Amino acid sequence: MKKKYKKKPETQKLFVPVPKKDDGDEKSSSSSKPTNNQNSQQKPKPNAKQSSNTKSNTPNLHLATKEQLLAELEKRQDEERDDEVEGEDIEEEDSLEDNASRWIRGSFPEKVIIIGGGPAGMASAIYAARAGLSPMIIAPAMGGQLQGKGVDVENYPGLHNFTGPAVIASMRSQAATFGAVFEDDFVTKIDASSRPLKVFGNSTGVIEAHSIIVATGADSKWLGIPGEFELRGGGVSSCATCDGFLFSGRHVVVIGGGDTAMEDALVLARTSKKVTMIHRRDSFRASKVLADRVKNHPLIEIQWNTVLEKIEGKPISTPDNDSNDDDDADEMDLDDVSATATDTTEKIVSAAVLKDVVTGEIRTLSCDAVFVAIGHSPNTGFLDGVVEFHSDHPGYVQTIGTSTKTSVPGIYAAGDVSDAVYRQAITSAGSGAAAALDAERFLSEEGLGNEEAEMEAELLRELASEMNDASNQSDMGYNAYEDAGGRVHGVKESLGAEL
């Protein structure tokens, strides 16, 4: 081959032993071309590197120095602080969103203040807000007949299988969407002796307003007997029109002797199997027409000279509860008072304990529901001496004609505060809308509620006038004679006189 090619071919060994080298030698050898043997030995290196990376990710506290531990600790503390700050920012944003509908005291009187957070107040707020009046609603967060109604509201159009609190929450959200603001407070007094009107809040103090819509409703009167409060929503009610259908084909009891009790008994007799009226006297105080209808109705039984002492309830029976009761009957300790004291099982009406006021006899009457119909009490005490009240219905605000206007211009009544006949959520909402329309018309006719806009317009006019004056002076240019004393032609005249 040497004779043929005149040159010895270069050869390379396939397997070369790799001796141990120093760091400097390793660096120099890494730059050289690897051999086949070296390639074969370098193939598993990526896996070794990967395994070393996984090992490095795991904390080796026993191998770290004190400085490294302190640095790692400081790093983690910084991360925790960043997370806390971020969480506080999120909470602050959420609180700002929640408080977007909270009232903030301004420099001008409110256009309209709505007192009450029921259907009448919420309907007024929606209509007033959509009219651009930015209404302020003063009402406690919890309260009202519909707010405390635990069963479903079934007689409000478009709202099926909604509880009372859910209905109010939806109305409140809708009003806030259009710009209504809310203040959780009680109104103690209204001063209508001067303008603007003054509303006194329990915690907010004095708030001035050009118009007021009173929608505080009327509370049902209760007996205050054992079981009455505990079984509300479980068979105890004060509205036969609202809840009577829930007890179709069952035995119900009505307490009272006035027109409200007569109306409730007649309404319940249409759907119930039997209606028992309980009255503490031997005659009704209701109108003769209604009383005669009740007396002659075949499904209504009257028990005279009788009062309700107690309402008894029983746990709601379900297949699961029945099976559990059978299994746990032998294990129940009847002497364990704590077990019964913390019993939170839902109950329904099972019986009414009655007492004869003449003989004193105590008897128990099995029934499925008890309707307390002893009247209503309008929440209008803070209006004493301010507006006129209905002569035939004490406590109810007297309105003018078919409107919601009261005896004081700028004050309107909506809902159960002026309705002693219907007292329904839907009729209250209708009167609330009418009150907002009446208030809007009053403000427009009197030219009230535009103070802020008028002040802004006046400031703009003054600013525009100042800018015009400044531009006129700049067009005239600089006059040295004005700076010297204001004599524009005085120099020439003096020169003429001397000559």
According to DSSP, the β-strands at 347-356 and 362-366 are antiparallel
Dihedral angle computed from the Cα positions of residues 106, 107, 108 and 111, in that order, rounded to the nearest 10 degrees: 0
Q: Which of 185, 243, 259, 438 is catalytic?
A: 243
Which tokens is 152 given? Answer: 């479903």
Q: Which of 23, 78, 152, 239 is catalytic?
A: 239
Residue 367 catalytic? Answer: no
Which tokens is 8 given? Answer: 């010895």
SS (H, E, C) the chain: CHHHHCCCCCCCCCCCCCCCCCHHHHHHHHHCCCCHHHHHHHCCHHHHHHHHHHHHHCCCCCCCCHHHHHHHHHHHHHHHHHHHHHHHHHHHHHHHHHHHHECCCCCCCECCEEECCCHHHHHHHHHHHHCCCCCEEECCCCCCCCCCCCCEECCECCECCEEHHHHHHHHHHHHHHCCCEEECCCEEEEECCCCCEEEEECCCEEEEECCEEECCCEEECCCCCCCCCCCECCCEECCHHHHHHHHCCCEEEEECCCHHHHHHHHHHHCCCCEEEEECCCCCCCCCHHHHHHHHCCCCEEEECCEEEEEEEEEECCCHHHHHHHHHHCCCCCCCCHHHHHCCCCCEEEEEEEEEECCCCCEEEEECCEEEECCCEEECCHHHCCCCCECCCCCCCECCCCCCCECCCCCEEECHHHCCCCCCCHHHHHHHHHHHHHHHHHHHHHHCCCCHHHHHHHHHHHHHHHHHHHHHHHHHHCCCHHHHHCCCCCHHHHHHHHHC
Main-chain dihedrals φ then ψ at residue 209, nearest 5 degrees: -155, 150
Distance CA 414, CA 404 (A): 6
Q: Which of 83, 184, 242, 475 is catalytic?
A: 242
Instruction: Give the type of residue at 300.
Output: I
Q: Which residues are marked as active site?
A: 239, 242-243
